[in-house]
């Protein structure tokens, strides 16, 4: 029996969501993926809730029009500020990155104290703190605004980035949070810094990558929604089919995107979402 491949739409304001796509490809290789990066309108972190919600809903509708049967909001800011609006506007199931990340932190933390690092917008929304407190954990959120530009510069192992991360984490784990034992990466750029963060975080701390947690949440959704789509035997090793759409420079998307995805990006199509 030929098993139908699910079509998964992945949305982000730019390139960071490609770390979520990378995790999805590793866990669910037998699917078709449509990635939408709203690169012309990033960063979302400095925009209002209304604007982020409008942009994200437009992107969700575009992905649905391209055939997406499930939407992954790979953008922490869009998830934190507008997941309810996106879910209400979409006609297919929607998975964000915050709840899976909080769930993974709850499963690894023994001390029930967690540090979350992210952008200003994600931290200001307190979405992770609310999700963690709902699970009975104490959370401290720390905005790390310098890390995204350092990652996009390609400085993932640069001494400057290590020193910046050391300062941020020193503040995050200080003042009564020395015994926090989980660090949630609340930004999709941060998985590229995992080796560096392992070095500068306290040795007893487990690092929770919300990209990987989200991929597991999507796999669980697929098992429930489309139980026949998971291929078996030879079908299981089918190559994923990838389509990329960006609202700004395709050349820049290819160049920067390769760092996040871990391999070459061949075909990027430009799309212009009208205001």
Model confidence over 64-81: pLDDT tens digits?
999 999 999 999 999 999
Q: Which residue among the candidates 21, 23, 53, 75 is catalytic per the annotation?
A: 75
**Which pLDDT score is estimated for 247?**
96
Torsion from C-alpha of 118, 120, 126, 127, nearest 10 degrees: -60
**Contact criterion met (CB below 8 Å) for 177 and 113:** yes
Q: What is the pLDDT of residues 83-118, one digit of tens each?
A: 999 999 999 999 999 999 999 999 999 999 999 999
Q: What is the pLDDT of residues 45-68, one digit of tens each?
A: 888 999 999 999 999 999 999 999
Helices (H) and strands (E) in the chain, counts: 11, 10
7-96+212-270 and 98-210 agree in CATH topology: yes
CATH of 7-96+212-270, one of 3.40.50.300, 3.30.750.24, 3.40.50.1860, 3.40.50.2300: 3.40.50.1860
Q: What ranges do the domains of the chain cover?
A: 7-96+212-270, 98-210
**Which pLDDT score is estimated for 126?**
97
Q: What is the pLDDT of residues 156-178, one digit of tens each?
A: 999 999 999 999 999 999 999 99
The model's pTM: 0.92
Half-sphere exposure of 195 (CA within 13 A, CB side): 6
Query: What are the two backbone dihedrals, phi and then psi, of residue 13, each rounded to the nearest 5 degrees?
Result: -70, -15
Query: Quick one: CATH architecture of 98-210?
Result: 3-Layer(aba) Sandwich (3.40)
> Is there a catalytic annotation at residue 187?
yes
**Contact criterion met (CB below 8 Å) for 147 and 187:** yes
Distance in angstroms (rounded) separating the CA atoms of residues 233 and 116: 39
Higher pLDDT, 137 or 238: 137
pLDDT at residue 4 greater than cutoff 90? no
Distance in angstroms between the alpha carbons of the first and the last residue of the chain: 45
**Which pLDDT score is estimated for 234?**
42
Number of residues that this document lists for the chain? 275
Q: Which residue among the candidates 187, 192, 205, 261 is catalytic per the annotation?
A: 187
Helix intervals (H) in 66-209: 76-89, 98-108, 120-125, 127-133, 147-152, 159-172, 194-200
> Is there a catalytic annotation at residue 144?
no
User: What confidence category does residue 227 fall into, taking pLDDT thresholds of 50, 70 and 90?
Assistant: low
DSSP class per residue in 154-170: T-TT-HHHHHHHHHHHH
């Amino acid at each position: 029996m030929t098993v139908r491949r699910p079509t998964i739409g992945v949305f982000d304001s730019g390139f960071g969501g490609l770390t979520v796509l990378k995790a999805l490809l590793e866990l669910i290789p037998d699917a078709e993926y449509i990635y939408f990066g709203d690169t012309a309108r990033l960063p979302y972190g400095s925009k209002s809730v209304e604007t982020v919600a409008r942009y994200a809903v437009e992107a969700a509708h575009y992905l649905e029009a391209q055939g997406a049967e499930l939407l992954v909001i790979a953008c922490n800011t869009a998830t934190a500020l507008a997941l309810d609006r996106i879910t209400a506007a979409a006609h297919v199931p929607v998975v964000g990155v915050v709840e899976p990340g909080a769930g993974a932190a709850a499963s690894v933390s023994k001390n029930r104290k967690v540090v979350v690092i992210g952008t200003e917008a994600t931290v200001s929304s307190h979405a992770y703190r609310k999700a963690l407190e709902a699970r009975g954990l104490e959370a401290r959120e720390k905005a790390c605004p310098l890390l995204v530009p350092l990652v996009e510069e390609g400085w993932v192992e640069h001494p400057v980035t290590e020193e910046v991360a050391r300062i941020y984490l020193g503040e995050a784990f200080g003042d009564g949070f020395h015994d926090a034992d989980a660090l949630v990466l609340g930004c999709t750029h941060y998985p590229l810094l995992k080796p560096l963060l392992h070095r500068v975080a306290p040795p007893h701390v487990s690092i929770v990558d919300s990209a990987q947690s989200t991929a597991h949440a999507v796999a669980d959704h697929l098992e429930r929604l489309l139980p026949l789509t998971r291929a078996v035997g030879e079908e299981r090793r089918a190559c994923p089919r990838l389509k990329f759409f960006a609202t700004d420079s395709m050349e820049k998307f290819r160049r920067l995107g390769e760092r996040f995805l871990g391999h070459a990006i061949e075909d990027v199509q430009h799309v212009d979402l009208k205001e």
